[in-house]
């Protein structure tokens, strides 16, 4: 346990500090650098500063070890977070890092980092961009030490260039991201998979075979257009039409047509016209004697539309030219922007993706912007020039350019922090717009929300920094969690790199820090960074099951408890790490025993209740005390001294102080009490060495207590009574069998669940049906 006397030391360690060289400066990268930038910077330094190449320098080894240490720390999200908070002390000071030969860094390290068409994925990227994406991915799981992986690399690069825009190509280095590779079941290298179907490619690893495999998985299609189809569908969209005299007459090939359909999906209809059978249609476009590609768009002032001839045979070049014809996002001025936000506040059904920029937009970015309408058909797209509308951008605290933000129903907005490609922006926009309760907060709005009497309800506020990988992983989890609550629970994000003084004012010392503000009370979140943990945290605090005890309430409730009551109390300090780890388990324990009468779970904050904790002799945190049944007030106390502080271990200890209605059964008592009984029985068949059985035992005790008076409960030790368990047909532990009715056999009705609520509901349903049948039978006999 953490002793009270070292509180000062813990507080001191909370301040960020660093000794020695700054790791970011060593690698020559910014603090917000992504993993690819860090790898590329390290590789460049490794190739030039490796001891193998600097044998005359006596400090070469020491210098290179420092570089390697810096890279190893910054490439990993968790160690990078510790370094950002506590400096080198936070990640240890050992300089025993091993490193590879010079040739390894030159030939094997980051083999796809210089290929912009290939996305190098880590676990955070993979979860967000691949698993939560609608895009088709082809991913290469490899090891830099694998010769077959290096043999594949040239073909993989060519394929990525050929399929750029058609699908997304990725690579995962399993030597560095082994957790991700294990999660995906990767056991051999290279392993090639198509996502989201997670289909493995088992063909030849050459460019042509891999491309054919991918093209056969595309959902896009090329429409065959004749006069009838054209008259029906021409006004519905713009078109890219491939006019063919014959397949061998310079006509665009089927693979190229399919690639174009995939690249332009949602933006332009792609069709093929056979000018042999639809000659008149081809003449309408002025092309009846040769194969060609045209872009057609409907215009009100031109009844037959406008046709543009497109030269070239390369799918990417044709797509690029087509995109140049598409309209740009709506340019928003101050009035238009305000009108858009006000519309969203009063119920406009269309969220907006807004692009904030300075100067001229690059040609590549223009193309990405023009892809967005096809990816986001249910959203509107706009752009704001922050040079012209500086005050507007200042009010929104736009601190970098270019920047994308999603403005959603209700008027809130969020900032995009990922890659600035159309697919990544679209993924973010869909995710963000589906979470209208999540919004960016900034002063003076944020302090006002905390004022007493404010009617906005509870706020879960996430203080973060865009350069912090754990922060960026938490944001989508925050959105998922928000979908479990109505508008009475709000979710806000505060960027501490922009609002540093606000974060200091609220004593934010690490990122991410997530705090629930509920009227005048606040509670910091210390659980796993998952939506499930956030939802449990909020539900537990908004509808508390743990009794918050003050000095007055402690003595009036625990101090005056009757012999029929049991109290279990956690004495904690908010700054204590083990206490923070215990908090979610303590709330879970309270929920697990909430249905058991006269059991109360409480907590005392010893920082707020100093006098009470001193009076009770609390000297270390957390201190867990139990005031058992049979004792009056504080007369009897049990101290928890177990090493495990998870909810199940605590529940098991607690139930040792409660009389159990579960009867231990032997073969003789089983036959006499269960098989020859007129009352229903639930029997738990278990083995003492079985971990699941140990966890389930308190749950079964709760079941027995809740069904007491209607159903009897027993348990059989299958280690001691193997023959009985064999007669009952037991093949795994724990197994729960229900025995009811007059004609009973050893093999009862198995209930395939270990949930108390399910077992109780199922048992009550079965017994109710039996009673109903017996009632009908009795009536018929009468």
The helix (H) or strand (E) run that includes residue 536 is helix 531-542
Q: Note if the bond before 190 is cis, omega within 30 degrees.
A: yes
Residue 314 maps to a domain: yes
User: Hey, how many other C-beta atoms are within 10 angstroms of the C-beta on 185?
Assistant: 11
**Active site includes 579?**
yes
pTM: 0.69
649-653-658-661 Cα dihedral, nearest 10 degrees:
50
Cβ contact 50:106 at 8 Å: no
Give SS3 for 491. strand
356 and 486 inside one domain: yes
Q: Which of residues 303, 325, 347 is at a domain's end?
A: 325
Residue 430 maps to a domain: yes
365 and 513 inside one domain: yes
At 123 the pLDDT is: 82
116-118-119-122 Cα dihedral, nearest 10 degrees:
-130
What is d(CA 394, CA 389) in angstroms, rounded to the nearest whole number? 9
Q: What is the pLDDT of residues 48-100, one digit of tens each?
A: 888 777 888 888 788 878 888 888 888 776 777 677 766 766 666 544 455 66
What is d(CA 412, CA 565) in angstroms, rounded to the nearest whole number? 48
For residue 132, give its domain range.
119-216
At 11 the pLDDT is: 30
CATH number of the domain within which 601 lies: 3.40.30.10
Q: Which of residues 591, 621, 656 is at a domain's end?
A: 656
Helix, strand counts (H, E) of the chain: 30, 32
pLDDT along the chain (782 residues), means of 10: 35 33 83 78 81 80 83 78 68 56 63 85 83 90 91 94 94 89 94 95 95 94 89 79 76 92 91 88 76 84 77 90 90 95 91 94 88 91 95 93 94 92 92 95 82 71 89 93 92 93 89 89 88 92 91 95 94 91 92 89 95 94 95 93 90 90 92 89 93 89 89 93 93 92 82 90 86 59 48
Indicate which residue of 579, 606, 613, 725 is catalytic: 579
Q: How far is CA 380 from CA 306, 426, 435, in A?
A: 25, 12, 17
Residue 533 bridge partners (DSSP) = none
Give burial (CB, 10 Å; 0-12/13-18/19+) of 78: exposed
At 107 the pLDDT is: 57
What is d(CA 362, CA 683) in angstroms, rounded to the nearest whole number? 72
For the CA atoms of the chain, what is the radius of gyration? 33
What is d(CA 468, CA 85) in angstroms, rounded to the nearest whole number? 10
Could you tell me the strand order of the sheet in which 330-331 lies? Answer: 330-331, 380-385, 352-357, 403-407, 413-415
The token pair that represents 364 in the structure block: 């590549």
Nearest residue to 491 via CA among 517, 531, 464, 461: 461
| Longest alpha-carbon distance in the chain | 109
What is d(CA 532, CA 584) in angstroms, rounded to the nearest whole number? 12
Residue 715 maps to a domain: yes
Q: Which of residues 656, 684, 706 is at a domain's end?
A: 656
At 670 the pLDDT is: 92
**Active site includes 468?**
no
Cβ contact 287:294 at 8 Å: yes
428 and 335 inside one domain: yes
321 and 334 inside one domain: no
Cβ contact 494:461 at 8 Å: yes
The pLDDT mean for the chain works out to 86
Residue 768 bridge partners (DSSP) = none
Nearest residue to 171 via CA among 145, 196, 144, 151: 144
548 and 521 inside one domain: no
Number of domains in the chain: 6
Give SS3 for 181. helix
265 and 355 inside one domain: no
605 and 714 inside one domain: no
386 and 345 inside one domain: yes
Residue 8 maps to a domain: no
At 451 the pLDDT is: 66
Contacts of 89 (CB under 8 A, 6+ apart): 17, 18, 19
Q: What is the pLDDT of residues 475-533, one digit of tens each?
A: 999 999 999 998 889 999 999 989 989 999 998 988 899 999 987 788 899 888 999 99
Residue 490 maps to a domain: yes
Cβ contact 319:264 at 8 Å: yes
279 and 367 inside one domain: no
Residue 13 maps to a domain: no
The token pair that represents 682 in the structure block: 């639930």
At 235 the pLDDT is: 66
What is d(CA 294, CA 309) in angstroms, rounded to the nearest whole number? 5
200 and 253 inside one domain: no
At 91 the pLDDT is: 66
Indicate which residue of 174, 468, 693, 718 is catalytic: 693
Residue 9 maps to a domain: no
The helix (H) or strand (E) run that includes residue 541 is helix 531-542
Indicate which residue of 174, 181, 471, 576 is catalytic: 576
427 and 553 inside one domain: no
Residue 60 maps to a domain: yes
315 and 419 inside one domain: no
């Amino acid at each position: 346990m953490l002793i009270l006397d070292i509180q000062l030391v813990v507080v001191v360690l909370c301040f960020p500090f660093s000794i020695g060289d700054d790791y970011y400066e060593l690698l020559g990268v910014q603090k917000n650098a992504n993993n690819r930038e860090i790898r590329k910077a390290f590789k460049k330094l490794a190739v030039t500063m490796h001891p193998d190449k600097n044998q005359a320098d006596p400090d070469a080894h020491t210098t290179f070890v420092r570089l390697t240490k810096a890279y190893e720390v910054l490439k990993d999200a968790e160690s990078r977070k510790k370094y950002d908070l506590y400096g080198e002390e936070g990640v240890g000071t050992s300089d025993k890092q091993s490193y590879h030969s010079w040739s390894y860094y030159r030939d094997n390290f980051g083999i796809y980092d210089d290929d912009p068409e290939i996305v190098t994925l880590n676990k955070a990227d993979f979860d967000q961009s691949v698993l939560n994406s609608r895009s088709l991915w082809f991913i290469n799981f490899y090891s830099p030490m694998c010769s077959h992986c290096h043999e594949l690399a040239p073909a993989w690069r060519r394929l990525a260039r050929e399929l750029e825009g058609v699908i997304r190509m990725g690579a995962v280095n399993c030597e560095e991201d082994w957790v991700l590779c294990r999660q995906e079941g990767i056991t051999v290298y290279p392993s090639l998979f198509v996502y989201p179907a997670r289909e493995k490619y088992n063909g030849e690893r050459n460019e042509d075979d891999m491309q054919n495999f991918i093209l056969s998985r595309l959902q896009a299609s090329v429409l065959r257009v004749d006069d009838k189809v054209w008259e029906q569908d021409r006004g519905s969209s713009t078109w890219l039409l491939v006019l063919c005299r014959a397949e061998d007459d310079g006509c665009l090939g089927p693979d190229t047509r399919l690639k174009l359909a995939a690249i332009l999906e949602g933006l332009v209809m792609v069709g093929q016209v056979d000018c042999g059978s639809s000659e008149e249609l081809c003449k309408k476009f002025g092309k009846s004697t040769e194969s060609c590609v045209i872009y057609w768009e409907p215009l009100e002032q031109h009844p037959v539309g406008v046709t543009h001839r497109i030269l070239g045979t390369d799918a990417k070049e044709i797509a690029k030219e087509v995109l140049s014809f598409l309209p740009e996002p709506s340019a928003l001025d101050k009035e238009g922007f305000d009108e858009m936000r006000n519309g969203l506040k009063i119920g406009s059904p269309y969220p907006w993706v807004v692009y904030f920029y300075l100067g001229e937009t690059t040609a590549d970015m223009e193309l990405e912007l023009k892809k967005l309408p096809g990816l986001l058909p249910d959203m509107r797209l706009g752009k704001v020039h922050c040079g012209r509308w500086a005050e507007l951008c200042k009010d929104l605290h736009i601190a970098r350019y270019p920047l994308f933000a999603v403005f959603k129903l209700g008027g809130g907005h969020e900032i995009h922090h990922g890659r600035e490609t159309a697919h990544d922006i679209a993924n973010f926009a869909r995710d963000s717009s589906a979470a209208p309760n999540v919004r960016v907060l900034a002063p003076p709005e944020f302090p006002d929300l905390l004022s007493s009497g404010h009617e906005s309800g509870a706020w879960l506020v996430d203080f973060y920094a865009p350069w912090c990988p754990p922060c960026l992983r938490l944001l989508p989890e925050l959105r998922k969690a928000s979908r479990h609550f109505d508008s009475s629970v709000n979710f806000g994000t505060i960027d501490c790199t922009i609002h540093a003084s606000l974060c200091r004012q609220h004593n934010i010392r690490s990122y991410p820090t997530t705090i629930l503000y509920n009227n005048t009370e606040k509670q910091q979140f210390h659980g796993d960074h998952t939506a499930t943990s956030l939802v449990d945290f909020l539900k537990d605090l908004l509808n508390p099951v743990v009794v918050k005890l003050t000095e007055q309430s402690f003595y009036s409730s625990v101090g005056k408890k009757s012999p029929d009551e049991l109290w279990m109390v956690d004495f904690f300090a908010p700054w204590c790490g083990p206490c923070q780890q215990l908090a979610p388990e303590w709330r879970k324990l309270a929920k697990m025993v909430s249905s058991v009468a006269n059991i109360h779970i409480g907590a005392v904050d010893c920082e707020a209740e100093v006098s009470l904790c001193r009076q009770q002799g609390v000297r270390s945190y957390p201190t867990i005390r139990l005031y058992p049944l049979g004792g009056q007030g504080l007369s009897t106390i049990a101290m928890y001294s177990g090493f495990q502080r998870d909810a199940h271990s605590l529940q098991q200890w607690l139930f040792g102080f409660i009389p159990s209605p579960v009867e231990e059964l032997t073969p003789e008592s089983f036959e006499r009490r269960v098989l020859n009984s007129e009352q229903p029985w639930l029997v738990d068949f278990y083995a003492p060495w079985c971990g699941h059985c140990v966890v389930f035992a308190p749950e079964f005790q709760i079941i027995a207590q809740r069904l007491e008076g209607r159903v009897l409960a027993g348990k059989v030790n299958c280690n001691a009574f193997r023959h009985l368990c064999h007669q009952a047909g037991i093949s795994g532990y724990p197994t729960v069998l229900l025995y009811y009715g007059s004609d009973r056999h050893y093999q009862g009705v198995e209930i395939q669940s270990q949930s108390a609520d399910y077992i109780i509901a199922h048992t009550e349903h079965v017994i109710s049906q039996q009673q109903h049948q017996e009632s009908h039978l009795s009536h018929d006999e009468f």
